């Protein structure tokens, strides 16, 4: 597949071509995903749950993310790779710059940070120094204890308005991509239309510019439960390659996520 860059992702949004993203943690799956046409690979701090067996993402370290980023880059040399910055690794702009460095050196094209207004100086500092940033609003897993669990966000008019404002502020600060997690579909549509940068949804309906899933959820092998917003493509196809190809084609066609995978 052709090399994906931020400019390519921006053009995909402008042309209405849906962006596909999956989490990846090793070279073998990264290679397979790239071969099946997945546009973006995310080294998610979800590895704390699906690889390390923790109940949340908080124990993951920058060294963990860097290790898996190197593995993913080795398997998919031309992929667009985003690395999550772990819990409390970007509490200040200085700390963010220090911790983003090993992730970019490991092969990431972009780092992802969770949060709103407090991140604006950090995003500005990173992008001014050549580190592309992906924002993350809605259900931000690193704040799970603050939310009291994994819950849908932005359900009131006041909170929805605040999220739109924060999304615009992140874009203004220099973010080039935004992930929206577990928010009502009408709010996701509002934010996607308001922003000029691509918006990637997970539990945000099929109205965003693209979709991301945790690979273990897509393959139905997550321990515990499969989230409402996910779909077991391995059960549907019986083959891992076919599962990934079907996910890509259904996202591109706007078939996934369907109504049952979304919050109204």
10 Å CB burial of residue 203 (0-12, 13-18, 19+) is buried
The Cα 76–Cα 1 span in angstroms is 10
Confirm whether residue 262 is marked as ligand binding: no
CB 204 within 8 A of CB 227: no
Instruction: Enumerate the β-bridge partners of residue 210.
Output: 19, 200
The verdict on whether 181 is a catalytic residue reads yes
45 is in an annotated binding site: yes
Known binding residue 56? Answer is no
**Phi, psi for 189 (deg, rounded to 5):** -65, -40
3-class secondary-structure state, position 104: helix
Q: Is 113 left (phi over 0), alpha (psi -120 to 50) or beta?
A: beta
112 is in an annotated binding site: yes
| Number of residues that this document lists for the chain | 264
Q: Could you give the CA distance from residue 160 to residue 123 in angstroms, rounded to a whole number?
A: 22
Q: What is the 3-state secondary structure (H, E, C) of 47-97?
A: HHHHCCCCCCCCCCCHHHHHHHHHHHHHHCCCCEEEEECCCCCCCCHHHHH
Which of 181, 189, 250, 260 is labelled catalytic?
181
Residue 143 marked ligand-binding: no
Residues serving a catalytic function are: 181
Annotated binding-site positions for Mg(2+): 45, 84, 114
Annotated binding-site positions for 3-methyl-2-oxobutanoate: 45-46, 84, 112
Annotated binding-site positions: 45-46, 84, 112, 114
């Amino acid at each position: 597949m052709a090399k994906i860059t931020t400019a390519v992702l921006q053009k995909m949004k402008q042309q209405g071509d849906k962006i596909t993203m999956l989490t990846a943690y090793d070279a073998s799956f990264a290679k397979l995903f790239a071969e099946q046409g997945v546009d973006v690979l995310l080294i998610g701090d979800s590895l704390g749950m699906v690889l390390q067996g923790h109940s949340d993402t908080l124990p993951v370290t920058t060294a963990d993310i860097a290790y898996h980023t190197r593995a993913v880059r080795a398997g998919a040399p031309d992929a667009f790779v985003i690395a999550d910055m772990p819990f409390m690794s970007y509490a200040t702009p200085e700390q963010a710059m220090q911790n983003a460095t090993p992730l970019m050196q490991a092969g990431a094209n972009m780092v992802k940070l969770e949060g709103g207004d407090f991140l604006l100086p950090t995003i500005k500092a990173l992008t001014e120094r050549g580190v592309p940033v992906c924002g993350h609003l809605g259900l931000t897993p690193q704040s799970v204890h603050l939310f009291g669990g994994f819950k849908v966000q932005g359900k009131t008019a006041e909170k929805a308005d605040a999220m739109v404002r924060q999304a615009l502020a992140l874009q203004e600060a220099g973010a080039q991509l935004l992930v929206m997690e577990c928010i009502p579909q009408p709010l996701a549509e509002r934010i996607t239309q308001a922003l000029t940068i691509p918006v990637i949804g997970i539990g945000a309906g099929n109205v965003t510019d693209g979709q991301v899933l945790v690979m273990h959820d897509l393959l139905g092998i997550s321990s515990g439960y499969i989230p409402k917003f996910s779909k077991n493509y391995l059960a549907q196809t019986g083959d891992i390659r076919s599962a990934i190809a079907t996910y890509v084609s259904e996202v591109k066609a706007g078939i996934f996520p369907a109504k049952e995978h979304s919050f109204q």
